[in-house]
A and B are shown apart, each in its own frame.
Chain A
Amino acid sequence: MKQYFQLIKDPRFRLVQNDHRPFIDGPAPRRVRLNREGFAMVPGVKKKTLVSPGTLLAEHPSPDKGDLHSPIYGVITEINARSVFVDAMDPAEAEPGAFPPLPEPADLLRQGLEGEELVSAVKKLGVNTRSLGRRAKTLIVNALNPEPGVRWAEPMLVEHADEIRACLELQRRFRRADEILLAVPTGCSVRFSGIRAVEVEPVYPNSVNELLIKEVTGEEAPPDVAAVGLHNVWSLGRVALTGLPLTETVITIGTASNWANFVVKNGSLVGELLEFLHISLQNGDTILRGGPLRGESLDRLDRSITKGAYGFFVVNAGEVPPIEGDSACVNCGACIVACPTRIDPRMLSRYAEFGKYNMSRKENFRLCVDCGLCGYVCIARRPVLQYIRLAVKRLEEEERLAGLTPLEPVGKA
């Protein structure tokens, strides 16, 4: 009976499917497009440079953002402000020695590095350590599928247990947390030795880190608890096992009727993936990178699967009522009911709509955990989440600029 009265009755919001499908290796890319925003290209890497899998292309100045490596044998065809393009080449066809040598595997588990040293070693192998959890007393590994539609978490716990074990070992050596917990879906029997497992009701939005922490600890926003997603755990574990730079990512590719889990090369073009899967699009379809609730829609087929992306979805035209940018809020309150953080997405979206960003401060805009439920339930099909993101971005920018000047009030003439 309960489900009938609920606002959200989408069965897809259950984050376990009990349908284990093995991971499939993605197609060998003919071309990759790597995001280089914020990266500094390594000297000597330019157009026409030949690269091998694992060749370092660019470094990130931040100590907790992973460096960029080529995922394939190929030649760099273009470097612009945002992307590096590599066209695949067959190393057998080139003269020997033309390609740079493959990197030596670095056995992180054997080396025995710890703390910050380990963090920087991991960064050099392309792993973002920022998303591996900040310093906290307790670190929770979030083993729930991050979003509805994304389905690699369950099989990963079984099939990629080695990666997870390796990552957990490295996590311990990071010494960022005193205790590591594993949050698994209720009923899941997977356990790792030495790690306490906590069962969490696998229903979206429980898989959003902030809300997962609440489910596990029973407290909202406890100060000493951090969470890390299984996707990041896998990346670190992969690097720990292979000793090679991270050049792959796990994604679920889903359409209205089908889905499958893949391990694809970073930078794989979505057009090539669609071709590989024989998915043909129609005019007006939407393709998106990330998850169906929080992802971003792509405008062209030569966009690629970026490092942190955990999904790629096709939403056919007509599958959902079309979004109307300018439709006015009708005060239905659905977003208020749906919002798990009990803020008021209705007013927040209106403030942003009319440019009254300052008003958003009163409404705790910062508590938004970006779950997307407000937009999912809006009967007027307003881009509620987008409005809120806009406000957050504007205000953060404002605060950043304000931080550049002395905080004392300056006398106005």
Chain B
Amino acid sequence: MSQSNNDILLAISTPPFWHCGRTIRQNSLHTLLALAPAAALSLIQWGVPAARVMALSMVAAIVTEAVCQILMKQKLSQDNGTAAVTGLALAFLLPASAPWWLTLIAAVCAMGVGRMAFGGYGANQVNAALVGWALVFVSFPIPMDPNAAVLHTSLADPLFRAKFFGGAAAADFPLADLLLGRQLGGLGATQTGALFLGGLYLALRGVIRWEIPCAFLAGTFLVASAFHLADPELYAGPLFHIFSGSTVFAAFFLATEDSCCPHRRLPMTLYGLTGGALVMLIRVFGVYADGAPFAVMLINLLAPMFALIRSHPFGTGPRKAKRTSDNEGRARS
């Protein structure tokens, strides 16, 4: 038995030799799994059009990534699933009525401009799906507006109502309806209940860091409460704002894109709080009904600033004793 040991080829590796098992691919698969319930509910609600948008967006994202990687002479990495995740996330933000060309443009821009232009997965400063979404949202406002599209639905856009008919209109939307996605908006982003559960799953799995969604939702909650208390007639309550539109989706799935957010606890908390607060500020003062995607883009851009907040590295902190000069020497070395 041991004789054979002499003939085998050993693999040389570098420490550590154990690994947590978490890989990019695994994280993507978990994310897709977390998005699955929302996607399923969306299919039930919108049927074939939603399926079409989701499939087209994912395929276009994957193909764009592959083409860019070939042009950039990079290793093909479609098997790690990140393009599929971005494609699906993007589709979640589009209305189910999105025409094929709109979906295509959004997906190609998301992968091309949002990600590959920066060098590939993990190099982008702003969430790639949001870049694609923002480009078409600003360029083609009419087909992007679910209120304007001809959809055979009795659903209404809660944020649209709240914005233009006052906070009292929010009463038309029971919380249960919002949670079950009976609202008009992005085809998947409005499945807030399912997304909340999916997000929870990701946080428990450690794929996303819980501090960000917690702080994000807390930010929305606090600012929405403040407005609501100031004038309940004009401004809807905090739960309405959390579970309408894409706040939950943004908190769990958009704001948490690893390369666009800070990683230490205090910066993550501030980043989340700012994002959550911005959602409300845009919803109240901005021209757009749903502020969440823009809020995430803004905090993405602010992330490097938040990341500057960090504690002293090990043993270099200020010390009470006379040793401080010594420490400075260490810190600088």
Hey, which bits of chain A sit against chain B, CB under 8 A? 4-10, 12, 148-149, 210, 214, 220-221, 223, 271, 274-275, 278, 280-288, 290, 292-301, 313, 315, 317, 320-321, 323, 328-334, 336-337, 340-343, 361, 364, 366-367, 369, 372-373, 375-377, 379-381, 383, 385-386
Contacts and interface: CB of A to CB of B under 8 A. Distances in A.
Contacts of A288: 13, 15, 17
Contact of A328 (B9, B15, B120): B120
Contacts of A220: 314-315, 317
Interface string B293-333: 00000000000000000111111110000010010001101
A333 B258 contact: yes
B174 interface: no
Nearest to A300: B10
Interface in B96-142: 119-123
A7 B211 CA distance: 13
Contacts of A331: 122-123, 258-259
Contact of B15 (A214, A275, A385): A385
Contacts of B312: 342
Contacts of B311: 342
A332 B19 contact: no
Contact of A148 (B14, B18, B263, B317): B18
Contacts of B11: 284-286, 297, 317
A288 B20 CA distance: 18
Contact of B314 (A8, A10, A294, A342): A342
Nearest to B22: A379
A343 B4 contact: no
B20 A341 contact: no
Nearest to A337: B263
Interface stretch (B47-55, B85-93, B202-210, B216-224): B202-210
27 contacts: A7-B206, A10-B18, A214-B314, A274-B2, A283-B8, A288-B15, A294-B15, A300-B10, A301-B6, A315-B13, A320-B21, A328-B119, A328-B120, A330-B24, A330-B122, A331-B122, A331-B123, A331-B259, A332-B258, A333-B261, A337-B263, A337-B264, A364-B313, A366-B333, A367-B315, A375-B14, A380-B24
B259 A332 contact: yes
A12 B20 CA distance: 11
Given A333-B258, A336-B264, 14 more contacts: A220-B317, A221-B314, A293-B17, A297-B11, A299-B12, A321-B23, A336-B263, A343-B313, A361-B333, A375-B14, A377-B20, A379-B23, A379-B27, A381-B19
A259 to B, nearest CB: 13
Contacts of B316: 221, 364, 367
Contacts of B8: 281-283, 285
B1 interface: yes
Contact of A278 (B1, B121, B206, B261): B1
A379 B18 contact: no
Contacts, number: 189
Given A221-B314, A283-B8, A366-B333, A376 B19 contact: yes
A274 B10 CA distance: 14
Contacts of B310: 342
B315 to A, nearest CB: 3
A292 B13 CA distance: 11
A323 B14 contact: yes
B216 to A, nearest CB: 16
Contacts of A5: 203-204, 206, 210
Contact of A298 (B10, B27, B210, B262): B10
B6 to A, nearest CB: 6
A287 B2 CA distance: 15
Contacts of A297: 10-15, 17
Contacts of B9: 283-284
A69 B122 CA distance: 53
A290 B311 CA distance: 32
| Overall SS of chain A's interface | loop
A31 B313 CA distance: 47
A278, A283, A361 — which one has the most chain B CB atoms within 10 A of its CB? Answer: A283
A281 B24 contact: no
B326 A223 contact: yes
Contacts of A292: 15-18
B5 interface: yes
A337 B211 CA distance: 12
B258 A8 contact: no
A373 B16 CA distance: 8
Contacts of A298: 10
Contacts of A315: 13, 17-18
A215 B311 CA distance: 18
A317 B10 CA distance: 9
Contacts of A317: 11
Given A293-B17, A296-B15, A342-B310, A379 B24 contact: yes
B19 A321 contact: yes
A271 B310 CA distance: 48
A333 B21 contact: no
Nearest to B314: A341
Nearest to A295: B15
B20 A286 contact: no
B16 A294 contact: yes
Interface string B140-153: 00000000000000
Contacts of B210: 5
B302 to A, nearest CB: 16
Contacts of B16: 292-294, 372-373, 375-376, 385
Nearest to B312: A342
